[in-house]
Amino acid sequence: MGGNQQAVKGQKQAESLEGVLERITFYNEENGFLIGKLKGQTKTAEIAVVGKAPKVQCGETLLLTGSWTTHPKHGRQFSFTSFESKLPASAYGIRKYLASGLIHGIGKTYANKIVDHFGADTLRVISEESGRLKEIEGIGKLRAKSIKEAWEEQKTVREVMMFLQTYGVTDALCLRLVRKYGNSAKTILETDPYRIIREVKGIGFKTADKIALNLGLASNGPARIDAGILHTLQESEDEGHTHTERRELALKAADLLEADTKDVENRIDALMLEEELVTSKPDWLQNPVCARAEETIVCCLHNQSKSDSSLPPIQVEKAIEWAQEKAGFAFADQQAEAVRQALQSKISILTGGPGTGKTTILRALVSILRAKKTKILLAAPTGRAARRMAESCSHFAQTVHRLLKFDPSQGGFTQNEQNPLICDFVIMDEASMLDLRLAAALIRSLPPKAHLLLVGDADQLPSVGSGNVLKDLIQCELFQVTRLAVTFRQAENSGIVGLAHGILAGKGSPPPPVDSLSEINPQHDVHFVRALTPEDCVSAVTRLSKNIIPKKFFIDPKNELQILAPLHRGIGGIGNLNDQLRDALNPTGATQVIGSLLFREGDKVIQTRNNYDKDVFNGDMGIIDSVDTLNGKVEIDFEGKKVSYQRMEITDLQPAYAISVHKSQGSEYPVVIFPILKQHFMMLQRNLVYTGLTRAKKKVIFVGDPAAYAMAIRNDKTLERKTDLIRKIIEYKGH
Q: What is the pLDDT of residues 325-346, one digit of tens each?
A: 998 888 888 899 999 999 999 9
Residues 669-687: tens digit of each pLDDT: 999 999 998 887 777 888 8
Q: What is the pLDDT of residue 86?
A: 76
Q: What is the mean pLDDT of residues 366-386?
A: 93
Report residue 605's pLDDT band, with 50, 70 and 90 as the boundaries: very high
Beta bridge partners of 69: 77
How many of the other CB atoms lie within 10 Å of CB of 445? 25
630 class by beta-carbon count within 10 Å (0-12 exposed, 13-18 middle, 19+ buried) = exposed
Beta bridge partners of 24: 36
Dihedral over Cα of 209, 214, 220, 226: its sign: negative
Given a cut of 50, is residue 137 above it in pLDDT? yes
Q: Where are the alpha helices (DSSP H) in 240-332?
A: 246-257, 261-273, 288-306, 316-327
Least-confidence region, from 103-112, 390-399, 657-666: 103-112
Helix (H) or strand (E) holding 701: strand 696-704
Which long-range contacts does 410-418 make (Cβ < 8 Å, 24+ apart)?
A: 412/441, 413/441, 413/445, 415/445, 416/441, 416/444, 416/445, 417/300, 417/444, 417/445
Distance separating alpha carbons of residues 541 and 657, to the nearest angstrom: 11
Q: What is the pLDDT of residue 342?
A: 94
Dihedral over Cα of 521, 524, 525, 531: its sign: negative
At position 184, the amino acid (one-letter code) is: S
Given a cut of 90, is residue 18 above it in pLDDT? no
Distance separating alpha carbons of residues 446 and 404, to the nearest angstrom: 10
Residues 525-550: tens digit of each pLDDT: 899 999 999 999 999 999 999 999 99
Q: What is the pLDDT of residue 169?
A: 67
Round the average pLDDT of the chain to a whole number and report it.
86
Q: Which residue has the higher pLDDT, 7 or 491?
A: 491
Q: Which residue has the higher pLDDT, 85 or 495?
A: 495
Residues 198-217: tens digit of each pLDDT: 888 778 898 888 888 887 88
443 class by beta-carbon count within 10 Å (0-12 exposed, 13-18 middle, 19+ buried) = buried
Residues 453-474: tens digit of each pLDDT: 999 998 888 888 899 999 999 9
Q: What is the mean pLDDT of residues 220-239?
A: 92
Report residue 489's pLDDT band, with 50, 70 and 90 as the boundaries: very low
Q: Is 593 left (phi over 0), alpha (psi -120 to 50) or beta?
A: beta
Starting at the earlier edge strand, list the strands of the sheet with 480-484.
Answer: 397-399, 376-380, 425-428, 451-456, 347-352, 480-484
Measured in residues, the chain has a length of 735
Residues 616-625: tens digit of each pLDDT: 888 889 999 9
Q: Where are the alpha helices (DSSP H) in 72-140?
A: 91-99, 108-118, 122-128
% of the chain exceeding 90 in pLDDT: 44
Report residue 493's pLDDT band, with 50, 70 and 90 as the boundaries: low
Report residue 291's pLDDT band, with 50, 70 and 90 as the boundaries: very high
% of the chain exceeding 70 in pLDDT: 91
Q: Which residues contact 120 (CB under 8 A, 6 or more apart)?
A: 89, 90, 91, 94
Question: C-alpha distances in angstroms, 10 versus 6, 13, 579?
Answer: 9, 10, 40
Helix (H) or strand (E) holding 698: strand 696-704
Q: Which residue has the higher pLDDT, 37 or 356?
A: 37
Q: Which residue has the higher pLDDT, 498 or 320?
A: 320
Residues 505-522: tens digit of each pLDDT: 887 677 889 998 988 888
Report residue 4's pLDDT band, with 50, 70 and 90 as the boundaries: very low
Given a cut of 70, is residue 272 above it in pLDDT? yes
- How many helical (H) and strand (E) elements, i.e. helices and strands, does the chain have? 28, 28
Q: What is the pLDDT of residue 43?
A: 58
